[in-house]
Structure formats: C-alpha cells, structure tokens
Amino acid sequence: MNSGSPHQSKDKYTFTLVLESLQILENDDSPYFIKLKYIKKIGTTEHYIPSTNGMINLQKEFTFAAKKHTLKKNHSMTIKIIQCLKKNKKIGQIKVDLYQHLDKISGTTKTVPFRNHHSDDKHNRGNLTFSIFSKRENNKDHQITQNKEEIASLIEATNDAASHTTRKTTSVNFGHLQMNNGLNIDQLNRPGKPKLADMLNTEVKLNNKNQNIAKREQKKSLTSLNEFLSSNRKGPILPASASFGSIPLHKQTSLIEPKNDKDHQIDQILSEFDHILNLKIEYSDNQIRSFEGPDSFIFAQCLSFQLFSDVGDEVFSEIVKVLPKKICDSLIISTFNDQRRKFFPLYGLSALLKQPPSNLKNEIKLNRTTQVFDALQPKTLEYLKKFTFSYANLFELHAQSVIDNKSDNEKLIEDIRQIFDAYLIACQAPKEFEFILSKAIFAAFDSLLLQFLLNRTNVTFLDSISWNSFCTRFRENFSCNLSLFSQAVQVIQMTSVIDKNPKEINNISNKLTPYIILQILKKREIDDSLTTKPDITKFINCWEIKDEHCEIDFQSLFNWEKLLMNSYQHVHSDNWKDVNIPAQFECKFPLLNIYFAD
C-alpha cells in the first residue's frame, strides 16, 4: 500500500464547517435536522424544535478532508434541511463551493436563504447561518492520516505470515486485529525496530512472495501500531468469546497486572480511563438503541478493570474519589453542546450502576457500584433540570391558554399531545429514557401553569372550575398529575376555609409555600362562594411571613431528586449492550469487543 509522498500531502485539505443558527420562517413546532454531504455523508445534526420565533441555535461543528484535484472535479458540498413529520421531508437545500474556501484559515459567517429546488413551491423556507474555512495538511498532519493505512497494511502482512506457521497458535480477534496470545507488547517498545517473528512469538515460514511482503512492511514505521496497542498493554488479552454472561468475573484473567505499588496501579487505571473519556464520538439517528453509547462504554471499561470486583479496597477508594468528576468533565460526555445529550450518557450510566445487568449481580460488589452511582447523581440531577427547562418554552403558549381560559380543554389537550410528541422526537433518546423525559417535561409544564397563574391580577371561583377540569383531563390523557397547579386551584376553591383557619393549608397543599398561598389569597375575588375578601393580615401573622415581593424559585417546588431516583427502575439494564459502536471507537478500544461483540 502506497503511504503517500510529500507532494501528495500538499494536495489534501481539512475543512471545518460551523453551523451557527437556523431560522424557520413558517414555524409549526415540528423538529428539524440538517444533513451534510460531500461525495459521501459528512454528518447529521441532532433534531431541534424551533423557538416561538422560528430560531434554532445550532453551534455545531463538522470537519472533513478533501483533495484539491478532487475539488476541481466535484466542488459542491450539499447542506439539506429536513423536517421531521411522519416521513422526513426535505424543505431546503444549500450548495457550498468548497473550492472557493481553499486556504482560508478564518471563516466568514454567511446567512443563506434556502428553499426546496425540487418542489413547485419556490418561496424561501428559512435562513441558515454558517461559516467555513480550510487548511492545507503539512507532512506531519499527513503522516497522522496515514497511520490507519500503515496499521491495516502491517496487520495484513502479519496475518498472511501467521497463516504459514509451522505450529498452531491460539488467536484472538479484536476488530480486524489478530494477535498471538503469547504476544509480549513490551517488545514493541524496545530500541530499534522489532522483528515480525518476535511480535508473533512463533516460527514463521514464508514463501518468496510472503518474505517480500514482510520485508516491505517491516521498513514502515511501527509508531502507529505502538500507539494503537499502548492503551491495552497493561495485562494479558482475553479471548474474544469471553463475556460476563458466560465466564464468572473471578475466573477471568484480570486486565490489570498485579502491582505492589498501589499508587502506580491507581495511576495506571486512571490513565487508561483517560483514553476512553477523552474520545469524542457522534451519535445521531440511532432510534433503535437502548443506551447512548458513552454510558455503555464507560461501564464496560469499569468491568474490564475489575473495578467492581477484584481491585483492592484501597485502590478502589482512591479511584472513586476522582473518577466520577473525570466522567462528568470528560469529552465523551460533553461531545454535544445541548444539555439533553449531556444528560443522557450520565443518566444511562447511573441506571447501569443503580441496577447492574442481572448476569453481573453475583459477580460484582454492589456497594462499589453504589458509591460511583451516588457520586454521579449531583451532576446528573443538574443536567436533568437544565435540559428540561431548556424545552419548557415549547409549552408556554399552551400554559398561557389554560390560564386565560381561551381554548377548549379538549383542543388544548390535543395540541399539548402534538407538541409533546415532537419534543420526544427532538430529544432522540433511547426508548427506555422516555419515562424520565415525560415526567420531567410535565413537571416543568406544571410549574409554568403556577407561574402564569400568579401573574394574573385576580382569580375567581369560576376560573378554578375550568382549571380543575383541565387538570382532570390532563391526568386522564397523560397519566400524570399537575400537582403544583392543582393544589393552587384547591387553594382558590378553599379560600373561605383557609380564611377561618390559616393552618388548614397543611391539609390542602403540601407543595406550595405559605408565601405562594398568600399571593393566591390576595388575588381572590369576591363571588357567590366568597362574600368577603380574605383576612391577609391574619394569614401573615399565623405563618410569620412578610408581605413583600420576593422571587419564587419554581424549580425548587418540585422534588426532582425523587423523580430521578424513581425513574431508574424503568430502565432495563439487561439491554445495555444494545448500542451501535462507531468504527473508529471500536478500532481505538478493541478490548470493548469482549462486551459488544456481534
């Protein structure tokens, strides 16, 4: 295989495209996403629902390579804007001339209108704002891009040579890499170039053709192979057929060499974790998976290091002090800019730790998985609330319609169902995560209703009848109680009882604070059910609160931690392997094939 010459490397460019924002001119609350293609597919964004003004903040970056002579023949990159309906529909397309952007190291931001050129409808559907720039690869950059080719070439020669061995050896297949079980990886780090026979640890007989191949391949640098294998050189390699469903953990060979030096072992394990945590991977359009990918890979890495079984207590204690923070801050978790995709991996990993797969429960120490689980929950809870309230604005118009009593309840319920379905599509979550997504977004909707109620200048008993009817219909359709809003409605209906005895609020509401109830009582208008205004002073003195304006933290009214903890029982951890592995990930971490083999 030709490794390329210096003049060829000058012909290669790396392009960076930054999608900044998308504006949909006729917004109907459907999710949208973008596909990029130059000769072959470059990538796809997540699904987004526009804000009320039709804007989507993308801030999504893609990189891809192209050769100059190829660009002369085919210089157009295609950007497709797609609307998610029952069947995906392309609503617009933009062509970008890449040849015009050669050697432009700083991108110029452009806002380009788009429409569907293949449709009879010729009016603009929206605007896309993006920037693009490129740089020419130097020889060093080019050498890096050749590493995979060198590895594949060397492996091909190694396998070819191994097929002529004079004695049988046991092989293990990790991806496309086959190695003899007696391979001493440290031999690859000796000064000078190791011999192919040393690597195979076997006597190899080659015919003339194979000898020529071997000699040619030995001349190539093995730096790429050293880097490829270095992350797995800490201990012996397990057979590809090994799985935790068939081989008890205590019978498996540890992937970590026993070390007398505790600190060295800790550094060794944490260093290996850095390899997997610092990998950036893209996940989109994978609706059939049960888990995200990062969560499954981190859990598998913990198992491969015997972190929950054979590692000593002192070593585990030191690792668990720093590993959760490493995970939360890692690139593999924060690959995506949007909060929902930061939450999903932490949530999936927490589910695996909270309820490990059934075939592992007798082989691992559950007190250890619990320790890591507990350490991850503050950040998981933080991401849950951030991503939930980033989507709450989708329901603002519907919440305001409820409070204004401007729409029929049946029509409102149907509209809410449509926007809720669009929200689930936009989230692109594994199916088993939909429980937490549903409960969380409805909790945010509940707080919106209370917030808009408190913005009213007055409320009446008739208002409460309409709102109470809506709460009932909502519970019947979504199997979810709007606890904050429904208790506020009860306060309106029970104002006369509260006025007689302010302590009665303990029997009416266990979620609303006395200050919030005070604001509702102040808005209560006189009608047939209430002949006189409530005695506000009496209520204030009873509860020892001040009648002055203060900000209400609506998020704190809901027990998010309880919701999160209860939700884990709805995630079936036995399905944790049902996740697609990107090819480049499988190549960099071949030991994961122990857990995710086809």
Residue 285 banded pLDDT, cuts 50, 70, 90: very low
408 shares a domain with 539: yes
Give the Cα separation of 81 and 336 in Å (integer).
19
- Give the pLDDT score at 364: 94
Q: What value does the mean pLDDT take over residues 161-185? A: 33
- Give the pLDDT score at 243: 34
Backbone angles phi, psi at 418, to 5 degrees: -65, -45
- Give the pLDDT score at 28: 76
Of the listed ranges 101-110, 282-291, 342-351, 548-557, the least confidently predicted one is: 282-291
Give every CB contact of residue 459 below 8 A, 6+ residues apart in sequence: 453, 492, 520, 523, 524, 525
165 shares a domain with 97: no
Q: What value does the mean pLDDT take over residues 399-410? A: 91
- Give the pLDDT score at 547: 85
- Give the pLDDT score at 336: 57
- Give the pLDDT score at 107: 65
Domain coverage including residue 330: 249-382+572-596
Q: For residues 482 and 445, is the Cβ–Cβ distance under 8 A?
A: yes
Q: pLDDT per residue over 68-90, tens digit each? A: 888 888 889 999 999 987 678 89
- Give the pLDDT score at 240: 32
**237 lies in a domain?**
no
260 shares a domain with 226: no
Provide the H-helix boundaries in 278-354.
294-304, 313-329, 339-354
The residues facing 114 across adjacent strands are 126
**212 lies in a domain?**
yes
Residue 541 banded pLDDT, cuts 50, 70, 90: very high
Q: Which of 391, 543, 295, 420 is nearest to 56 (CA)?
A: 391
* Dihedral sign computed on CA atoms, order 55, 58, 59, 64: negative
- Whether pLDDT at 253 is above 70: no
- Whether pLDDT at 6 is above 90: no
Q: What tokens were used for 471?
A: 């709460």
**240 lies in a domain?**
no
Query: Within a 10 A sphere around the Cβ of 92, how many other Cβ atoms?
Result: 25
- Rounded to 5 degrees, what angle do the CA atoms 78, 79, 80 make? 115
Domain boundary among 137, 155, 175: 137
Q: For residues 309 and 362, is the Cβ–Cβ distance under 8 A?
A: no
Of the listed ranges 216-220, 241-245, 358-362, 496-500, the least confidently predicted one is: 241-245
Which one has a higher pLDDT value, 448 or 247?
Answer: 448
Scanning the structure block, which residue is given the tokens 């003899």?
A: 180
Domain count, the chain: 4
Percent over 90 (pLDDT), the chain: 40
Helix axes 434-454, 461-478, angle to 10 degrees: 170
586 shares a domain with 517: no
- Whether pLDDT at 355 is above 70: yes
The residues facing 82 across adjacent strands are 33, 90
Q: For residues 589 and 275, is the Cβ–Cβ distance under 8 A?
A: yes
Of the listed ranges 273-287, 311-325, 451-465, the least confidently predicted one is: 273-287
* Coil, helix or strand at residue 83: strand
Counting Cα atoms < 13 Å in the Cβ hemisphere of 69 gives: 5
437 shares a domain with 401: yes
- Give the pLDDT score at 194: 37
Scanning the structure block, which residue is given the tokens 């003004």?
A: 53
257 shares a domain with 203: no
Residue 559 banded pLDDT, cuts 50, 70, 90: very high
Which one has a higher pLDDT value, 583 or 48?
Answer: 48
- Tally of residues, the chain: 598
- Whether pLDDT at 373 is above 90: yes
- Give the pLDDT score at 429: 81
- Rounded to 5 degrees, what angle do the CA atoms 483, 413, 395 make? 70
The residues facing 112 across adjacent strands are 128
Q: What tokens were used for 579?
A: 């996740």
Give the Cα separation of 384 and 283 in Å (integer).
19
Cα separation values, 168 from 89, 165, 180, Å:
57, 7, 10
CA 292 to chain centroid: 6
Helix axes 396-404, 409-427, angle to 10 degrees: 170
- Whether pLDDT at 593 is above 60: yes
**236 lies in a domain?**
no
- Whether pLDDT at 171 is above 50: no
- Give the pLDDT score at 597: 64
Q: pLDDT per residue over 8-42, tens digit each? A: 445 788 888 989 899 998 877 788 999 999 988 88
- Give the pLDDT score at 337: 57
CA 225 to chain centroid: 31
- Give the pLDDT score at 256: 52
Which one has a higher pLDDT value, 193 or 550?
Answer: 550
Q: For residues 52 and 132, is the Cβ–Cβ distance under 8 A?
A: no
Q: For residues 333 and 378, is the Cβ–Cβ distance under 8 A?
A: no
**1 lies in a domain?**
no
Q: What value does the mean pLDDT take over residues 539-560? A: 92
- Give the pLDDT score at 105: 65
Give every CB contact of residue 101 below 8 A, 6+ residues apart in sequence: 15, 132, 133, 134
Q: Which of 239, 323, 240, 312 is nearest to 274 (CA)?
A: 323
203 shares a domain with 224: yes
How confident is the prediction for the chain on average, in pLDDT?
Answer: 77
Q: pLDDT per residue over 424-443, tens digit each? A: 888 878 888 999 999 999 99
361 shares a domain with 276: yes
CATH value at residue 20:
2.60.40.150
543 shares a domain with 397: yes
Residue 195 banded pLDDT, cuts 50, 70, 90: very low
588 shares a domain with 560: no
**548 lies in a domain?**
yes
Residue 333 banded pLDDT, cuts 50, 70, 90: confident
Q: What tokens were used for 296?
A: 């499954």
Q: What tokens were used for 199?
A: 């690597």
pTM tops 0.85: no
195 shares a domain with 264: no
Q: What tokens were used for 269?
A: 């394990």
**241 lies in a domain?**
no
Which one has a higher pLDDT value, 232 or 294?
Answer: 294
- Give the pLDDT score at 37: 92
Of the listed ranges 78-82, 288-292, 449-453, 478-482, the least confidently predicted one is: 288-292
- Whether pLDDT at 196 is above 70: no
449 shares a domain with 348: no
Domain boundary among 137, 155, 185: 137
* Coil, helix or strand at residue 296: helix
Cα distance between the two ends of the chain: 29
- Give the pLDDT score at 350: 97
**239 lies in a domain?**
no
- Give the pLDDT score at 396: 93
CATH value at residue 551:
1.20.58
